[in-house]
Amino acid sequence: MTRQDFTPNEMMTIAASRALTNEDVCFVGIGAPSAACNVARLTHAPDITLIYESGTIGTAPDVLPLSIGDGELCETALTTVSVPEMFRYWLQGGRVSIGFLGAAQLDRFGNINTTVVGDYDKPKVRLPGGGGAPEIATSSGEVYITMAQSKRGMVEKIDFYTSFGHGDGGDHRQRLGIDTKGPTLLITDLAIWKPDPETKEFTVLSLHPGVTREQVQETCGWTVKFADRLEETPPPTPLELSTLRDLKARTERAHKGAEAPGARKGSKDG
């Protein structure tokens, strides 16, 4: 499969999906994280447990939800609990292995801003806010982040700390009494990043097919560190790509209200 056969966003979503396993209990964010988690469920990890903030556990949506309140989540869930129970018992109780988040702004240590761009009192842009993301970032066993690269999004210093990553780096989380791992994986539309074991600064381990170091640096607001042995991300397989595209197509039809009768009740084989 050549570079022209898939888009950077498709590569990002599929690369993110590969990080998930059957054994994971994953707290899913809306948007790109939701797409990645459901591609994993529909391909190599059919037994993964997906949890959304509205209280749905073991959900298996046939289309991607518009929000955590989308009825598709409750209709396909094994069970639905109250939001306080979701956070207190499941998340803060240590029962979630992976928190999968997106970001409007991100710094090199995995700190996330989804609150405001600019000064808090007089922001240039007011964003949707944190929702449950701050708790997901501190209480999940580890955190995966996915986002498209841009200098506007990947910045030297975020304007607001919505979700705590590794703070100033090093053992900052531990010094604050946070005993979970924090961000352990960043997947963008250009590369796969992991934090340095000591400094916790995100380092590029793998470039997606056709991507250069220069492209990664040009779309990042800090000086990028690359692994000594830089790899190339395997391209999407035909199954991965067709699963993602079918999922997106079903979602588009459903949200436009033009879905064929019975389509949302069909098989989940992609």
Annotated active-site residue in 53, 72, 135, 201: 53
**Which 3-state string (H, E, C) describes 119-162?**
CCCCEEEECCCCCCHHHHHHHCCEEEEEECCCCCCECCCCCCCC
Secondary structure, 3-state, the chain? CCHHHCCHHHHHHHHHHHCCCCCCEEEECCCHHHHHHHHHHHCCCCCCEEECCCCEECCCCCCCCCCCCCHHHHHHCCEECCHHHHHHHHHCCCCCCEEEECCCEECCCCCEECCEEECCCCEEEECCCCCCHHHHHHHCCEEEEEECCCCCCECCCCCCCCECCCCCCCCHHHHCCCCCCCEEEEEECCEEEEECCCCCCEEEEEECCCCCHHHHHHCCCCCCEEEEEEEECCCCCHHHHHHHHHHHHHHHHHHHCCCCCCHHHCCCCC
Task: Respond yes or no: is residue 240 known to be catalytic.
Answer: no
Q: Max alpha carbon distance in the chain (Å)? A: 55
Residue 31 CA, distance from chain mean position: 8
Catalytic residues: 53
